[in-house]
């Protein structure tokens, strides 16, 4: 018991209120104490089979680890280990962990071991993970909430934990969770935050362990490539996408992988367009340029995804790659510009970005398609852009002028373009100006006329036009 007591003192010094003696349930306290006893035995080079552990039965077999596992566990400082165990315990005591039962609901040491390994894998605590696997050999292959610890390590892109789990149980690289996701899918999605800077490295590691998984699909028929394209939004890197494209099997290779569709008909470029990471978009377009014109089952092009997300750089790139998508109605019947002006709940773009995306589409879309779309977008979002659309698309036909609302505030901004074009276009625009703008124009014209008569100086027509435009600017 002296050995156990020493371990308890070390834990108390680091864990504070979560010291071993106060952990609940008692089974968790006993298991943590056993982990620390094993750690101290390794440090002291005491044979592990000589230990009397609280949660391990005598019929569990030998506890002697491989030389590599023993060296890895012994090479970690006790304070480092106890800090990691503290983090694992806190993770298990959170009010809600998706798919994970509360620690108070488990009644066997094996279940506690599996919970601890899941917590260590989710947090990237490799020292705790190695020690749990040493004490409980089956913990890495026991499912909890439909997934294995390797799925959790992959979601956080925790390289050290992934390496340790793959060394102990390489076959788990081929295990699916309840969503039919492999560890490769979880790493490609990088959905738990964690160490996203290791996004590409985690994908590389899992591809090396199981190259055949590059073509595996989730329950939604998503490839790891689709998920990696989305994750480029926060990883800010093309490493994972490049690795998956390079690993694509022949025939077809990278181009076939980029053109593969999910259950909704979306290709990787749809995912990348919604993410907006420009290098990833450029890479996918270089590998499979035809996917810019790929429609999903609802008729959405990648441009629709970029416009809906309000991503001006992505919109500019995809407009050039697939001009036919600019005026195409998508699954909701909306064109890209209507999507750009719509109510967007994505948090990674701002209103200014969505307006910038809409202005790019203004210049490219024909007036006959553009003006109705702006009217449908409503006064708050669409009508404010009609003056820009008028100025960019002169001359307008009579039918197109009929689509311009009368008494439209701000329409005077298009007056310089109309004056520069023709009298007819100027006349049409004047018919749609608000009465207040017409009044200011008349006052401005009268003042200019009086000033010229008094000074006996005739200003050139272009100067007069500019001054009149300033009166309603």
What is the rounded distance in angstroms from the CA atom of residue 183 to the CA atom of residue 177?
A: 8
φ and ψ of 217, to 5 deg: -120, 150
What is the rounded distance in angstroms from the CA atom of residue 400 to the CA atom of residue 404?
A: 7
What are the start-end ranges of the H helices in 260-311? 268-275, 278-287, 302-309
The answer to whether the CB of 395 falls within 8 A of the CB of 423 is: no
Delineate the domains of the chain, giving CATH numbers in brackets: 289-361 (1.25.40)
The SS3 assignment for 147 reads strand
Beta bridge partners of 82: none
pLDDT of the residue at 321: 97
**Low-confidence stretches of the chain (pLDDT beneath 70):** 1-24, 57-70, 95-99, 191-195, 343-349, 464, 468-473
What is the rounded distance in angstroms from the CA atom of residue 138 to the CA atom of residue 7?
A: 24
What is the rounded distance in angstroms from the CA atom of residue 7 to the CA atom of residue 412?
A: 80
Tell me how far CA of residue 418 lies from CA of 393, 401, 423, in angstroms. Answer: 10, 12, 8
The overall pTM is greater than 0.85: no
pLDDT of the residue at 125: 94
pLDDT of the residue at 211: 96
Q: What burial class does residue 266 get, using C-beta atoms within 10 Å of its C-beta: 0-12 exposed, 13-18 middle, 19+ buried?
A: buried
Q: Which tokens belong to 120?
A: 């260590």
pLDDT of the residue at 22: 55
φ and ψ of 147, to 5 deg: -135, 160
φ and ψ of 452, to 5 deg: -70, -35
What is the rounded distance in angstroms from the CA atom of residue 200 to the CA atom of residue 221?
A: 22
What is the rounded distance in angstroms from the CA atom of residue 384 to the CA atom of residue 407?
A: 13
């Amino acid at each position: 018991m002296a050995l156990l007591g020493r371990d308890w003192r070390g834990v108390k010094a680091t864990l504070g209120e979560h010291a071993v003696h106060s952990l609940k349930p008692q089974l968790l306290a006993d298991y943590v104490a056993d982990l620390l006893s094993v750690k101290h035995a390794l440090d002291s080079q005491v044979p592990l089979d000589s230990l009397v552990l609280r949660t391990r039965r005598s019929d569990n077999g030998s506890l002697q680890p491989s030389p590599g596992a023993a060296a890895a566990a012994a090479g970690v400082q006790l304070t480092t280990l106890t800090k990691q165990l503290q983090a694992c315990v806190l993770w298990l005591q959170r009010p809600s962990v998706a798919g994970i039962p509360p620690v108070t609901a488990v009644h066997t040491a094996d279940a506690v071991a599996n919970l601890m390994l899941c917590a260590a894998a989710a947090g990237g605590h490799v020292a705790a993970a190695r020690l749990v696997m040493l004490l409980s050999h089956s913990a890495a292959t026991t499912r909890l909430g439909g997934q294995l610890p390797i799925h959790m390590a992959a979601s956080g892109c925790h390289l050290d934990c992934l390496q340790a789990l793959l060394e102990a149980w390489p076959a788990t690289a081929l295990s699916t969770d309840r969503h039919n996701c492999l560890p490769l899918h979880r790493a490609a999605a990088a959905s738990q935050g964690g160490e996203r800077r290791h996004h590409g490295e985690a994908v590389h590691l899992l591809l090396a362990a199981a190259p055949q998984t590059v073509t595996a699909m989730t329950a939604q028929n998503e490839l790891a490539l689709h998920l990696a394209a989305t994750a480029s939004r926060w990883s800010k890197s093309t490493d994972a996408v490049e690795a998956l494209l390079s690993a694509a099997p022949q025939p077809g290779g990278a181009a076939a992988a980029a053109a593969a569709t999910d259950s909704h008909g979306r290709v990787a470029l749809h995912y990348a367009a919604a993410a907006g990471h420009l290098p990833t978009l450029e890479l996918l377009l270089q590998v499979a340029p035809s996917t810019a014109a790929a429609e999903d089952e609802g008729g959405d092009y990648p441009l629709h995804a970029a416009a809906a997300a309000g991503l001006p750089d992505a919109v500019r790139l995809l407009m050039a790659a697939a001009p036919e998508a600019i005026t195409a109605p998508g699954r909701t019947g909306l064109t890209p510009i209507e999507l750009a002006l719509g109510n967007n709940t994505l948090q990674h773009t701002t209103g200014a970005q969505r307006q910038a995306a809409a202005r790019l589409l203004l210049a490219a879309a024909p007036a006959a398609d553009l003006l109705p779309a702006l009217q449908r977008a409503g006064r708050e979002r669409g009508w404010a852009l009609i003056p820009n659309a008028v100025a960019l698309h002169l001359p307008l036909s009579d039918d197109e002028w009929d689509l311009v609302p009368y008494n439209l505030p701000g329409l005077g901004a298009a007056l310089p373009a109309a004056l520069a074009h023709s009298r007819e276009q100027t006349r049409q625009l004047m018919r749609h100006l608000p009465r207040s703008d017409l009044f200011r124009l008349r006052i401005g014209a009268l003042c200019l006329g009086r000033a010229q008569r008094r000074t006996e100086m005739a200003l050139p027509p272009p100067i007069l036009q500019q001054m009149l435009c300033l009166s309603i600017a």
